[in-house]
Amino acid sequence: MTPELAEVVGSPVLVWRPATPWFAISSGVLGGGMGERHWVVNATVANQYARLDPDRHLAEIAAALGLVGPGIGLLTAVDVREVEHRSDSGVQVSVTTGIGAHPTWAAGPATFPEPVGTINAVCWLPRRLSPAALVNAVATVAEAKAQALFGAGVPGTGTPTDATALLCPLTGTPEPFGGPRSPVGGPLARAVYSAIRTRL
């Protein structure tokens, strides 16, 4: 599913407005968790973003765009016009990649302030996944991201603020698996890997 490009208060925003709701799992600060979602936004903010209420900020962006119902909101310092789209076997992904000057290791020590960077992945899946398979698919996205960074020689597994949103149809027999060798997880991993690797 291809997003539209909008602008809110001078900043670019990617907006997905599906005709019908989808079932989602997301780590987004707005609409995170699991459930029915009506829209998704991925919005650019300044490198020195200092608001402590990003969920409210995203709700304001959604309202400015006329979006209604529960949705998912993501923020990034990357210009979202640099999004990479990929499709593989019905899976469609849109990834904005920014690792900053200092990517982080997931199991590394905390640093203050944390380095700036965000990799946001919005992924549309062609078939319904069970809740457990959706959790598994989130891990698949993380593995594909780490593989892309490793393949590019980047010394880290991501950034402290990476976010993922996976959406699938509300109906249909749920697929029980979402790992990288499953019918949906395999294409998902390849698409995410390709989208991130292109920007490294």
* Reported pTM: 0.96
The total of other beta-carbon atoms located within 10 Å of residue 156's CB is 18
pLDDT digits over 81-139, tens only? 999 999 999 999 999 999 977 789 999 888 776 667 899 999 999 999 999 999 999 99
Identify whether the C-beta of residue 16 lies closer than 8 Å to the C-beta of residue 40. yes
pLDDT digits (tens, 9 = 90+) for 23-47: 999 999 999 999 999 999 999 999 8
Write the CA distances from 129 to 6, 32, 89, 120, 175, integer angstroms.
30, 17, 15, 21, 5
Confidence band, pLDDT 50/70/90 cuts, at residue 64: very high
What is the distance between the alpha carbons of residues 91 and 78, in angstroms, rounded to a whole number? 23
| pLDDT at residue 37, as a whole number | 98
Residue position matching structure tokens 């960077």: 117
The pLDDT assigned to 115 comes to: 67
Chain-centroid distance of CA 26 in Å reads 8
CA proximity to 163, closest of 146, 147, 142: 142
- What residues pair up with 91 in beta bridges, in sequence order? 88
